Structure 1
Amino acid sequence: MPFLLLILGCIGLSISCIGLHIPLIHQFDTSTIVWIASHRNAYLNAITVVMSVLGGLPSTLIISGIGCLILSKSKKYTEIWFVLLSITGSAALGWLLKYAIDRPRPDEVYRMVETYGASFPSAHSIYAAVLGCSVMFIFRRHKQAKLFIMLACFWLVCMGLSRIYLAAHYPTDVLAGWGIGLIWTTFVWFVLSHYALKRNKLF
């Protein structure tokens, strides 16, 4: 699973980065936003606006904090470090790339929520991918592992699609966010797994 997530992350990030320099893909990005904006409905509007709040950094930190408290009761300190390093590292990397690339957001005419910073990559998609990957890794040996994996995938996919629906991001921004989240979280998992193995600790 780790190698699969790493490969998917690299593919997603590569496609999105290449897409920044290809007019045809940029046209696809813009056309997607325009098409979705013309097919919105009140039901999806309400759901995606709520998801925008739930997927932001404050909510992600609260969810991660609650998860770390639960893990601390079982003295799973390596998993706690895994969650903390995954969230903080990916958030820092995402915002550095936003500043460096400085891609404009989709036109305000189509946007449904207030946004901050540049468009590329989607921070919400990064956070969703990190939380999703964290759940996959932490519960990979659980008897209901498949259910946790399905829920994690559902969350990160829906979060990314909601950002496009709200015209907060282009599709390639979301793809980049997923890629960064998958790559960074897998990298942290590999590092901590090696550390835990050397100290004869389970992870």
Structure 2
Amino acid sequence: MSYHLLILGCLLVFFSLLLIQIPALQPIDLAVVVWVSEQRSQTLNYIAQTLSFLGGMPALLFFATLWCIALAWYKKYAMIAFIVFGLSGSIACAWLLKYAFDLARPPAIYHLVHSYGASYPSAHSFYAASLAVLILFMTQQHPKRFYIGLIAVLWLLIMGISRVYLGVHYPSDVLAGWGMSLIWMSLLYGFGKFQFNLKQNFK
């Protein structure tokens, strides 16, 4: 599964780079933001703003801490290490890439929430994809893994869509956040599986 996610991640990053590098495609990014802003309603605004809070770094770290505490009770130390390295690496990668690309966000007139840092990639999308991949990898042996995985993928999707809806990210930012996260988590899992037999520890 890690190889499939790695390939998917590379494709998403490739398409995001096309959107920001090819002049003929660049207007598509803003056109999507404008179109989505025209579909807003009070209910959708509330949902998207709630997702913005739940998908931010403080909420992510809070949830991850509770998750690690629960795993420590069952002495699942390999899982804890994977979560810690996965999420801390995701945070570091997202913000280093923001600094490296330093691309401007959509015009402030479209913003429904406060935003920090550069636009590319979307940190919320990066975190959501990392969390989804963690869940996918760690529930491979679970009897309800299909339903758990479906919820994880839906979380990834709605978080990314909400960032465009809120007007603080272009679609290219979201694709990059998803893609770069899939690449990072797949490589981390592949390394851990090779070095520490993670798959066996995840049973």
Provide the TM-score with structure 2 as the length reference.
0.96
The aligned counterpart of 2:82 is: 82
One-letter amino acid of the counterpart of residue 31, structure 1: A
The aligned counterpart of 2:15 is: 15
The aligned counterpart of 2:42 is: 42
Task: For 1:148 and 1:82, locate their aligned partners in 2 and report how far apart those are by CA, in whole Å.
Answer: 18
Task: For 2:20 and 2:197, locate their aligned partners in 1 and report how far apart those are by CA, in whole Å.
Answer: 40
The aligned counterpart of 1:202 is: 201
Task: For 2:25 and 2:70, locate their aligned partners in 1 and report how far apart those are by CA, in whole Å.
Answer: 43
Q: Unaligned 5+ residue runs, structure 1?
A: none
Q: What is the CA distance between 1:202 and its match in structure 2?
A: 2.4
RMSD: 1.4
Q: What is the CA distance between 1:201 and its match in structure 2?
A: 5.6
Q: Is the 8 A contact 1:78 1:192 kept in 2?
A: no
Q: Is the 8 A contact 2:71 2:79 kept in 1?
A: yes
Task: For 2:128 and 2:85, locate their aligned partners in 1 and report how far apart those are by CA, in whole Å.
Answer: 15
One-letter amino acid of the counterpart of residue 40, structure 2: R
Task: For 2:99 and 2:170, locate their aligned partners in 1 and report how far apart those are by CA, in whole Å.
Answer: 17
Percentage of pairs with the same residue? 41
Q: What is the CA distance between 1:17 and its match in structure 2?
A: 1.8
Counterpart check, 1:98 vs 2:98: yes
Task: For 2:24 and 2:63, locate their aligned partners in 1 and report how far apart those are by CA, in whole Å.
Answer: 38
Q: Deviations over 1:156-177 (max 9, x none)?
A: 0000000000011000000000
The aligned counterpart of 1:63 is: 63
Task: For 1:24 and 1:67, locate their aligned partners in 2 and report how far apart those are by CA, in whole Å.
Answer: 45
The aligned counterpart of 1:122 is: 122
Q: Deviations over 1:73-101 (max 9, x none)?
A: 11111111111111111111111111111
